[in-house]
Each structure stands twice: as structure tokens, then as C-alpha cells.
């Protein structure tokens, strides 16, 4: 059995191809492919759908984190049709409004092109009667 193992190992070492070699032109090929990907024209509808999916997912996570025990109350109506959003100038910062909530989301990269979560969020509540309406929330431990 041991002889068979040694014979098999020797055969595998002999039959494997040589080690990789340095080859010129790979760097320029990589840069050309990267530039082509970066500058390709995207379908505006596809970009809009990606942005809306990211914003909807971010709002769902924010509401779940903020109102864990009563999250179903807020998540049942959460659809893209019920969200309003606005991009701040030329940054990757978006302001999203849902019911009486306004959230600022800062993304590291462009949320129209990548599936990602926000790196920063600031959650604000516009309702004056918030404390009276949300007595079912437990105190922080």
C-alpha cells in the first residue's frame, strides 16, 4: 500500500505543469479591463433599481434595529413606493423619508452601481407625539 502511495505521488509530481512564469503585458491588460468596466454605460433603469433596492434594504435594517420589538408595525407598509429620497449634491449621501422618519445614509461607494449597506446613518423622527405612540417599546437594558 505504501509503495502504491509513493508511486502515485511521484507520478503526480512528474505530470504537473511547470511553475508559473512571469509574463509581460498582464498589468496593462488588467488596467484596460478595469477601465472598460468603470466607463461602461449602464442602463438608467438598472441603476435606479439598484439604488432603490439599497435604500429599501437600509431602511428595513434601520427600522428593525430601532424598533425591534414592534418592527412589524413599521415594516408591513415598507415598499419603494412609500419611500421618498434625495441625493445630496455630488456625494454618496442620500436622505430617505418614510412615514415620520427621515434618515441620512452615507455610502462608501456609489449605491447605484454596487450592492452595499450604508457606512453611516442618522435616524430622525419628525412626530411630536412619538413618546405617547410608542409606549410598547421596552427600555434599553
Q: Which residues contact 94 (CB under 8 A, 6 or more apart)?
A: 55, 85, 86, 87, 88, 104, 105, 107, 111
Read off the C-alpha cell for 59.
431602511
Q: Which of 27-31, 32-36, 132-136 has the highest mean pLDDT?
A: 27-31
Q: Provide the percentage of residues in the chain whose pLDDT is more than 90.
A: 48
Bridge partners (DSSP) listed for residue 122: 104
More confident residue, 127 or 66: 66
pLDDT, one tens digit per residue, over 61-109 is: 999 999 999 889 889 999 999 999 999 999 999 999 999 899 999 999 8
pLDDT, one tens digit per residue, over 2-18 is: 665 665 666 565 655 55
pLDDT at 134 over 60: no
Under a CB-based contact definition with an 8 Å cutoff, are residues 117 and 58 in contact?
yes
Between CA 92 and CA 110 the distance in angstroms is 6
Phi, psi for 41 (deg, rounded to 5): -80, 125
Query: What are the structural domain ranges in the chain?
Result: 2-39, 44-133
Between CA 102 and CA 90 the distance in angstroms is 20
pLDDT of residue 8: 61
Amino acid at each position: 500500500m505504501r509503495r502504491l502511495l509513493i508511486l502515485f505521488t511521484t507520478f503526480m509530481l512528474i505530470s504537473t505543469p511547470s511553475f508559473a512564469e512571469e509574463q509581460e503585458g498582464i498589468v496593462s491588460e488588467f488596467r484596460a479591463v478595469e477601465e472598460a468596466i468603470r466607463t461602461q454605460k449602464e442602463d438608467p433603469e438598472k441603476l435606479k433599481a439598484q439604488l432603490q433596492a439599497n435604500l429599501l434594504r437600509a431602511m428595513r435594517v434601520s427600522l428593525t434595529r430601532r424598533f425591534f420589538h414592534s418592527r412589524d408595525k413599521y415594516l408591513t407598509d415598507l415598499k419603494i413606493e412609500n419611500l421618498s429620497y434625495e441625493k445630496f449634491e455630488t456625494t454618496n449621501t442620500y436622505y430617505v423619508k418614510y412615514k415620520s422618519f427621515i434618515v441620512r445614509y452615507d455610502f462608501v461607494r456609489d449605491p447605484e452601481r454596487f450592492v452595499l449597506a450604508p457606512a453611516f446613518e442618522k435616524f430622525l423622527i419628525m412626530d411630536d407625539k412619538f413618546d405617547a405612540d410608542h409606549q410598547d417599546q421596552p427600555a434599553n437594558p
